[in-house]
Structures are given as structure tokens and as C-alpha cells.
């Protein structure tokens, strides 16, 4: 028996169904079902009766639930009292992500949502490539990671996620865009052809520490041959400044939330790129997200909805 199983039990009881519990906890329905089934096997009795409208306690299951509640409440008290005294902030959120402005936007909103009277908190947004996002989440150095999958790398990245016991949750699917200056020769176009992009300097985030192009933040496009004029940068601000003031371009999601990108940079859709970008977040399999992480995921979804 584990505290994780008891947390699942509590969420199912409060939400009334395994399906709702899985959505509230941001984990798969099968993960919760398997955990409860293992708990039932250990206890030797059925906790829930499953039916089309949800679940209901068996008599034994309800007695067990009522016996477990004080333990869960006691855990909360321990974390609240001793966690704070030993230097653990009452609000903690750690996120690893690609250099996405909508992630920065959600992170700022999270900071703004914290009660000003709170004496301390521990927040971190780490912008790195795909490899380090996965490593951070797998090592539990980050609560969650934000990255993308594409047709070219999906099979490879999914295998790495599985090996590290991580799961991917889709947030949004978009077509690739070209980022460029408002004064760029292609800026007046409704769409740009992928072959045209190779005529201009290419801005990319420095991936010298990555061992494979599969870990790059720049999506691989069919028939796209980047210019031999490559400009490597380490942060989003530098990338925007280069693009806003030169004819250099980069390839990305096209998502530019108001106030979180350079006003001199625009995004033009790429015609028939032969791929799409599936943006999502990752977490440890079967892990229960903290309330802070759940709030952040909701803010991510809100920010993405606003740039539709």
C-alpha cells in the first residue's frame, strides 16, 4: 500500500468516477485503474463497484476509505508544518521547457497568482533542449516539461519517454511557421514555401550539448535545406533581436502571445511543410501533479487558447 494509491482513492471518491479523477490528476485512466486494482488485490476485497455512471463504494471499500482519510489529513499537516520549517516553500513549481513565449507567459501569470503575503516560494523556469527537458522530469528536478513532437522525431522521442517512464499530454497541434522581421522580403506573404527559406540566414538555439538533431528545438521540415549562414543563440531574446533587425529567419510554432515577443517579429505559415508540431507537456508516469503544477497546466492551456 502506498500514499500514491491512497491519493488516487481520495480523488476517485471526491470526483465520483475514475475518468474524472484521471482528468483532475492529469494522468491516464488506466494508470489509476491499475493502481486501485493492485490495492484491492493487496487488501483482498473490492473497494469500488464500477458502472456506466461512475463508481460507488462497496461496504468494505467505504470502511477502508474512512480509515484512510485521517492518514491523508495527517500527511497534509506534516507537510504544512515541518515542510515550511525545514526550508521547503509553501509554493513550489519547477518547469523545464523549450524557448516558448507562451510558456513564459503562463509562468508569469502563475507568479502573479501567488498571494503577496506569502513569505517565500520556490519557482523555476528552465529553457533547454528536448534531451534536458526529459532528464529534468525523469530525475524529478522539474514537475513537468513542455516540448513538441513531430512526424520525423515522434517514434524516437516516444521511445525515450517510455524508457524514462514519462508520459506526453497533448496541448495543441499547429503547422510550422517562419519567424522573421516585419520588414523581411517575405513578410508580405500569406504563406511562404519551404524551399524559399533556405535563401536566408537561419537562426537556431545552440544545441552543442545535444548528441542528436532529434533533441533540437527547430522542427525538421521535408525539403528544407537551411542556409549555410547559421546564427546560433542561447536565449529567446537574442533570437528575436537578430530576426527583428536582419533578414534571418527561424522555424517554430508561430505562437506569439501579445507582450511576450519582439514587436518587430512576425510569424508566417509555411505552405505544405510535410509535418505538424504537436505541443505538449510531460510528467512522470503515474505521478500525481501538485496543485501548483495543475494550475500551471491550466494556465498553459489558457495562454494557447488566446493565440488561436
Per-residue model confidence (pLDDT) at position 87? 54
Q: What's residue 33's pLDDT?
A: 87
The residue to which cell 500551471 is assigned = 296
Looking at the structure, do residues 289 and 154 belong to the same domain, yes or no?
Answer: yes
Q: How many domains does the chain have?
A: 3
CATH number at residue 126: 3.40.190.10
- The number of residues in the chain equals 308
Beta strands in the chain (DSSP E): 48-51, 54-57, 92-97, 122-127, 144-149, 166-174, 177-181, 192-193, 202-205, 230-233, 250-252, 265-271, 277-284
Would you state the cell numbers that stand for residue 77, as one nine-digit string? Answer: 499537516
Final residue in a domain of this structure, among 46, 64, 85: 85
Distance CA 57, CA 23 (A): 20
Are 236 and 289 in a shared domain? no
pLDDT, residue 122, reads: 87
How much is the pLDDT for 74?
76
What's the pLDDT score for residue 211? Answer: 43
Query: Residue 90 is placed in which grid cell?
Result: 509553501
302 and 233 within one domain: no
CATH number at residue 231: 3.40.190.290
Q: Which residues of the chain have pLDDT under 50?
A: 208-212
Q: Which domain holds residue 25?
A: 3-85
pLDDT tens sequence across 126-146:
998 888 899 999 988 899 999
Statement to judge: residues 179 and 262 lie in one domain: yes
Asked if residue 298 and residue 156 are part of one domain, the reply reads yes
Say yes or no: 182 and 138 in one domain.
Answer: no
Q: What is the CATH number of the domain that holds 56?
A: 1.10.10.10
Same-domain pairing of 193 and 239: yes
Tens-place pLDDT, residues 262-291: 899 999 999 876 788 899 999 998 888 888
Q: Are residues 72 and 7 part of one domain?
A: yes
pLDDT at 235 (0 to 100): 83
The whole-number pLDDT of residue 49 equals 86
Give the pLDDT score at 85. Answer: 54
Same domain? For 163 and 290 the reply is: yes
Chosen domain end from 85, 115, 146: 85
Mark whether 181 and 244 lie in a shared domain: yes
Q: Who contacts 155 (Cβ-Cβ below 8 Å, separation ≥6)?
A: none
Last residue of a domain, one of 85, 100, 121: 85
Do 9 and 81 belong together in one domain?
A: yes
Q: What is the pLDDT of residues 176-202, one digit of tens each?
A: 999 999 999 999 999 998 888 888 999
Same domain? For 194 and 272 the reply is: yes
pLDDT of residue 138: 92
Amino acid at each position: 500500500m502506498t500514499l500514491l494509491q491512497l491519493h488516487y482513492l481520495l480523488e476517485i471518491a471526491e470526483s465520483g468516477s475514475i475518468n474524472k479523477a484521471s482528468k483532475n490528476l492529469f494522468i491516464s485512466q488506466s494508470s489509476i485503474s491499475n493502481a486501485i486494482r493492485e490495492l484491492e488485490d493487496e487488501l483482498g476485497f473490492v473497494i469500488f463497484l464500477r458502472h456506466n455512471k461512475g463508481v460507488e463504494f462497496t461496504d468494505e471499500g467505504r470502511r477502508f476509505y474512512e480509515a484512510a482519510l485521517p492518514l491523508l489529513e495527517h500527511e497534509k499537516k506534516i507537510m504544512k508544518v515541518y515542510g515550511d520549517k525545514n526550508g521547503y516553500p509553501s509554493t513550489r513549481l519547477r518547469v523545464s521547457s523549450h524557448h516558448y513565449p507562451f510558456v513564459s507567459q503562463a509562468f508569469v501569470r502563475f507568479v502573479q497568482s501567488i498571494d503577496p503575503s506569502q513569505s517565500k516560494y520556490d519557482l523555476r523556469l528552465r529553457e533547454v533542449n528536448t534531451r534536458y527537458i526529459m532528464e529534468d522530469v525523469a530525475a524529478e528536478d522539474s514537475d513537468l516539461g513542455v516540448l513538441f513532437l513531430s512526424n520525423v522525431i515522434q517514434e524516437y522521442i516516444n521511445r525515450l519517454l517510455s524508457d524514462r517512464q514519462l508520459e506526453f499530454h497533448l496541448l495543441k497541434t499547429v503547422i510550422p511557421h517562419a519567424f522573421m522581421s516585419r520588414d523581411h522580403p517575405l513578410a508580405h506573404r500569406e504563406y511562404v514555401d519551404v524551399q524559399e527559406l533556405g535563401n536566408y540566414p537561419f537562426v537556431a538555439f545552440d544545441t552543442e550539448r545535444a548528441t542528436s538533431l532529434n533533441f533540437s528545438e527547430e522542427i525538421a521540415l521535408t525539403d528544407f535545406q537551411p542556409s549555410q549562414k547559421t546564427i546560433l543563440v542561447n536565449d529567446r531574446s537574442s533570437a528575436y533581436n537578430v530576426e527583428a533587425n536582419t533578414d534571418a529567419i527561424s522555424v517554430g510554432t508561430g505562437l506569439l502571445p501579445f507582450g511576450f515577443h519582439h514587436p518587430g517579429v512576425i510569424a508566417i505559415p509555411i505552405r505544405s511543410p510535410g509535418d505538424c508540431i504537436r505541443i505538449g507537456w510531460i510528467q512522470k508516469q503515474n505521478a500525481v501533479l501538485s496543485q501548483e503544477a495543475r494550475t500551471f497546466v491550466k494556465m498553459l492551456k489558457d495562454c494557447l487558447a488566446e493565440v488561436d
